[in-house]
Amino acid sequence: MGKIQGSGDDGITAREYPSRPELHNDRPAATGGLHRRDFHFDLPEELIAQHPPAERGDSRLLTLDGATGALGDRWFHELPELLRSGDLLVFNDTRVIPARLFGRKASGGRIEVLVERLLDERRALVHLRASKAPQPGGRLWLDAGFAATVLGRRDDLFEIRVEGDEPLLALLERHGQLPLPPYITRAPTAEDAERYQTVYARHPGAVAAPTAGLHFTPALLDRLADRGVEQAFVTLHVGAGTFQPLRVESIAEHVMHAEWIAVGETTCARIRATRARGGRVIAVGTTVTRALETAAGAGEVRPWQGETRIFIHPGHRFRAVDALITNFHLPESTLLMLVAAFAGHAEILRAYRHAVARRYRFFSYGDAMLLTRRP
């Protein structure tokens, strides 16, 4: 299995770590008994990856067996060895847009605009940072040389419409700034324009990358195909809400942010075929998991398009996904709750403690996990 180098280690021989049987009885019975603090873990700041690895895919992979709780330290390029002919990888083919703009209000106050979702060619829902919130009808003058009008407010978001004939997406592609996650404490560079994007990104609309997919290279995709692992795609335009912390202590009171998804008939047919031949459906990322579990609300994955507010937490009955490839997530976050629902609450926290001890790199540009579902 080789050695894992770096991060202060002389080399860690990859091996399996046995589970603790007593942990398998620690499944919270209902959401009402879970609190934000139940998903806390201590993370040294230096483990938060500020840059991508030197080469795409040059990442570590922590495996967690849902049936036994066993952990294993691997490399991401070993993924084909862990999958089987007849398995199906499902990817999110959204494309990150340069969604951040700067400008001023008509009064002269400075503003920062972060597009949350494109509504049509000229309208968008945006986050607006300003000393005082603009009113409906107010005009925004962007440093890029165009203006927008505030149409109204939807909860924490503002609906705006750009003036002129050029579509908003074209304006963003030419003038916008890539919106790196808030825990990356540096300005975006030209490297990020390529590395904060999957190699299979097709449909523009996300303001955050589906980061589990960042590890895949064309060569790795070819190796997986040669092994008989099939591919399918969904689209979920990741919003900035993915980084928002819970503002309530009891997770039963949390209201999930909305994201737009599309699950097509071709993907549904491939999932049915995979099930029929005894293969596994493997979600590449929590975004794919949310999309497929939304589309499987009636028991079987069916074509689905629209908003989802699905909140997956311990107690959720998974209908569509058998295994999950994912990066490491923020403490007390909804995405950490999702993976805890998938692989076990205590098991996930134990795996995260292991990752910290072994100096894995965390979050968007960090290392990955491969989880199989807990029975």
| Amino acid of residue 199 | V
| Choice among 32-41, 63-72, 133-142 with the minimum mean pLDDT | 32-41
Query: Which of 143, 175, 207 represents a domain boundary (last residue)?
Result: 175
For residues 93 and 201, the answer to whether their CB atoms sit within 8 Å is: yes
Instruction: Note whether residue 183 is domain-resident.
Output: no
Identify whether residues 260 and 302 lie together within a single domain. Answer: yes
Tens-place pLDDT, residues 293-321:
999 988 899 999 999 999 999 999 999 99
Identify whether residues 365 and 255 lie together within a single domain. Answer: yes
Instruction: Note whether residue 186 is domain-resident.
Output: no
Instruction: Note whether residue 263 is domain-resident.
Output: yes
- Tally the domains of the chain: 2
Identify whether residues 151 and 206 lie together within a single domain. Answer: no
Closest listed residue to residue 371, CA positions, set 337, 338, 323? 323
Tens-place pLDDT, residues 8-26:
332 222 333 333 333 223 3
Question: Is the pLDDT score of 3 beyond 50?
Answer: no
Dig out the tokens for 59 from the structure. 């990442």
Report the pLDDT value the prediction gives residue 11, as an integer from 0 to 100. 28
Report the pLDDT value the prediction gives residue 30, as an integer from 0 to 100. 46
Query: Which of 126, 144, 175 represents a domain boundary (last residue)?
Result: 175
Report the pLDDT value the prediction gives residue 32, as an integer from 0 to 100. 52
Residue 209 belongs to domain spanning: 3-96+193-372
Identify whether residues 364 and 268 lie together within a single domain. Answer: yes
Question: Is the pLDDT score of 5 beyond 50?
Answer: no
Identify whether residues 238 and 256 lie together within a single domain. Answer: yes
Q: What is the mean pLDDT of residues 88-103?
A: 98
- Residue 28's pLDDT band (cuts 50, 70, 90): very low
Q: Give the list of residues 6+ apart from residue 200 with CB closer than 8 angstroms, or none.
A: 91, 93, 213, 216, 221, 233
Identify whether residues 157 and 210 lie together within a single domain. Answer: no
Identify whether residues 92 and 210 lie together within a single domain. Answer: yes
Q: What is the mean pLDDT of residues 67-84?
A: 97
Name the DSSP letter for residue 374: P
Identify whether residues 167 and 59 lie together within a single domain. Answer: no
- Residue 88's pLDDT band (cuts 50, 70, 90): very high
CA 369, chain centre distance (Å): 13
CA 130, chain centre distance (Å): 28
Q: What is the mean pLDDT of residues 54-65?
A: 97
Report the pLDDT value the prediction gives residue 19, as an integer from 0 to 100. 34
Report the pLDDT value the prediction gives residue 245, as an integer from 0 to 100. 76
Element (H, E) at 291: helix 286-295
* CATH number for the domain harbouring residue 282: 3.40.1780.10
Q: What is the mean pLDDT of residues 99-125?
A: 95
Is 0.85 topped by the overall pTM? Answer: yes
Instruction: Note whether residue 91 is domain-resident.
Output: yes
Question: Is the pLDDT score of 160 beyond 70?
Answer: yes
Question: How far apart (Å, rounded) are the C-alpha atoms in residues 304 and 307?
Answer: 9
Identify whether residues 268 and 297 lie together within a single domain. Answer: yes
Report the pLDDT value the prediction gives residue 283, as an integer from 0 to 100. 98
Q: Give the list of residues 6+ apart from residue 138 with CB closer than 8 angstroms, or none.
A: 105, 106, 149, 150
Instruction: Note whether residue 75 is domain-resident.
Output: yes
Report the percent of the chain where pLDDT is more than 90. 84
Report the pLDDT value the prediction gives residue 285, as an integer from 0 to 100. 98
* CATH number for the domain harbouring residue 126: 2.40.10.240
- Residue 58's pLDDT band (cuts 50, 70, 90): very high
Report the pLDDT value the prediction gives residue 29, as an integer from 0 to 100. 37
Query: Which of 120, 146, 175 represents a domain boundary (last residue)?
Result: 175
Identify whether residues 330 and 241 lie together within a single domain. Answer: yes
| Choice among 35-39, 239-243, 268-272, 279-283 with the minimum mean pLDDT | 239-243
What mean pLDDT is reported for the chain? Answer: 90
Question: Is the pLDDT score of 111 beyond 90?
Answer: yes
Report the pLDDT value the prediction gives residue 23, as an integer from 0 to 100. 28
Identify whether residues 246 and 341 lie together within a single domain. Answer: yes
For residues 267 and 300, the answer to whether their CB atoms sit within 8 Å is: no
Identify whether residues 243 and 156 lie together within a single domain. Answer: no
Closest listed residue to residue 145, CA positions, set 180, 112, 171, 182? 171
Report the pLDDT value the prediction gives residue 305, as an integer from 0 to 100. 97
Strand ranges (DSSP E) for 194-343? Answer: 203-206, 230-237, 259-263, 281-284, 304-308, 323-327
